[in-house]
Amino acid sequence: MQTCSRSEFEQLVENAAVLEGGLEGPRVYKLPGQKIVKVFRSKRLLSSNRLVPYALRFKRCAQRLIELGFNSVRVEKMAHCRELDMHFVVYPMLPGLSIRELDERALLQPGVAAQVAAYVASLHRNGVYYKAFHLGNIIVQEDGSFALIDIHSTRFYKSPVSIDRRARNLLNMFRYQQDRNIIDNDGVSHYFGEYLQASGLNAEHQAALIGKLKTSRAFPELKVALDNLNP
């Protein structure tokens, strides 16, 4: 991993646009050359980030996703700035817009939510548990394929993702009103039906997954839509 001084980092982002920030400062910059700088700061003295930096996890996750055949970012640089107590990665900006951005610009094509359901099912079949699963983190590329960003917390398993984790991952989408609206436009039953069809689960395991989703206290309204599914 490279080292970077405070002045070198400040020079790097001098003319950058801030795409995302927080109380501790900017998290994502867009450089003039269509490259992204993603910053990872250590919030606590005792943090796993100090043992295995999130920047390194980000790079490893990106490489593993690509090895499995899923589009993601390609990290060009990873560095540690001791003076600012942070790590960062630099990578070319993925071409395309997120599903949320397409929705906001009235460019979202019908049926995309169902395509996302099948896509997430393929991740799960391949043992990929994408914890940052929401429609702002899924990029629709120029050829219509999907690509993932915000990937440092992704987990990889040697076998398909468990029923419990699948349910947790699918329910995460419903925490966000914009994502729920996008799914509602295509039909919630259709969304979960497409997931089940692509899930690789047998009828018994499909029924177990539906049962987990139906018992969600956070989203009891899903029960009506899920009642229409017959694995």
Multiple choice CATH, 2-92, 1.10.10.60, 3.40.630.30, 3.30.200.20, 3.40.50.170 = 3.30.200.20
Residues 53-59, mean pLDDT to the nearest whole number: 92
- Look at residue 47 and tell me whether its pLDDT is greater than 90: no
Q: What share of the chain is helix, strand, coil (3-state, %, to 5)?
A: 40, 20, 40
| Contact predicate 18/28, CB 8 Å | yes
Residue 220 burial (10 A CB sphere; 0-12, 13-18, 19+)? exposed
Instruction: Name the more confident of 227 and 165.
Output: 165
User: How is residue 175 annotated by DSSP?
Assistant: G
- Mean pLDDT rounded to a whole number for the chain: 90
Residue 136 burial (10 A CB sphere; 0-12, 13-18, 19+)? middle
- Look at residue 213 and tell me whether its pLDDT is greater than 70: yes
What are the boundaries of each domain within the chain?
Answer: 2-92, 97-226
Q: How confident is the model at residue 156 (pLDDT cuts 50, 70, 90)?
A: very high
Domains 2-92 and 97-226 share a fold: no
Q: How confident is the model at residue 46 (pLDDT cuts 50, 70, 90)?
A: very low
Comparing 35-49, 91-105, 187-201, the range with the smallest average pLDDT is 35-49
**pLDDT for 48:** 55
Q: Which residues contact 151 (CB under 8 A, 6 or more apart)?
A: 58, 61, 62, 65, 72, 73, 130, 132
Question: What CATH number was assigned to the domain covering residues 97-226?
Answer: 1.10.510.10
Structure tokens at 71: 């589009």
Closest by alpha carbon to 53, among 80, 27, 24?
Answer: 80
- Look at residue 56 and tell me whether its pLDDT is greater than 90: yes
Comparing 75-89, 191-205, 216-230, the range with the smallest average pLDDT is 216-230
15, 40, 189, 231 from 194: Cα distances, Å: 44, 36, 9, 12
Q: How many CA atoms lie within 13 A of 122 on its CB side?
A: 12
**In whole angstroms, what separates CA 211 from the centre of its chain?**
25
Q: What are phi and psi of 196, to 5 degrees?
A: -60, -40
Question: What does R_g of the chain's alpha carbons equal in angstroms?
Answer: 19
